Homo-oligomer: A and B are copies of this chain.
Amino acid sequence: MTLTDDLLSANERYRDAFDAADLQVRPLQHLAILTCMDSRYTSQGVLGLSLGDAHVVRNAGGRVTEDVVRSLAISAALLGTRACIVIHHTDCGLLGRSDEELRDRVATASGARAPFGFLGFADLEQSVRDDVAALRSIPYFPPEYEILGFTYDVRTGRLAPVE
């Protein structure tokens, strides 16, 4: 069995119970989530959302980048989302790591040294505050667009607001 065979077999089982055919492209709860690519949670799970409720943007750390702004701006302008929930989590691979260390690790594994930053961060709550502030300074969202920040604890499942 190749990886493709494995994935297609799993997808056949998914289709046996598939019941999302009637959902539409506009998120029902008018929400977008920005969070980390971490494997240990889904934002739908953590926030009690159903399929169809919210856009989910994920990258290493849940950091704000141009690509995130692109995605959230389309989500709001085209598909009617009105708020973004930023969630960074405990035990993140970027937490406590400098850009230089991350660049070194990538260079060692790949043989090539990346010119861009890797967006490591030193403090979990501060990185949420920084990214909420970064998004609030972006002019490409509608006037009433709301941005809220939270931390997520991967050991307890607990979501906590960041003021």
B93 near A48 (CB under 8 angstroms)?
no
A47, CB-defined interface residue at 8 Å: yes
Copies in the complex: 2
Look across to chain B and name the residue whose beta carbon is closest to the beta carbon of A42: B42
A56 near B54 (CB under 8 angstroms)?
no
Contacts of A71 in B (CB 8 A): 37, 59-60
B3 near A110 (CB under 8 angstroms)?
no
Q: Mark A142-154, 1 if CB is under 8 A from B, else 0.
A: 1100101010001
Known: A59-B70, A114-B140, A161-B8. A23 touches B39 (CB 8 A): yes
Can you name 11 A-B pairs with beta carbons within 8 Å? Answer: A7-B85, A7-B148, A11-B48, A14-B157, A15-B157, A23-B39, A37-B55, A42-B51, A69-B116, A70-B117, A74-B105
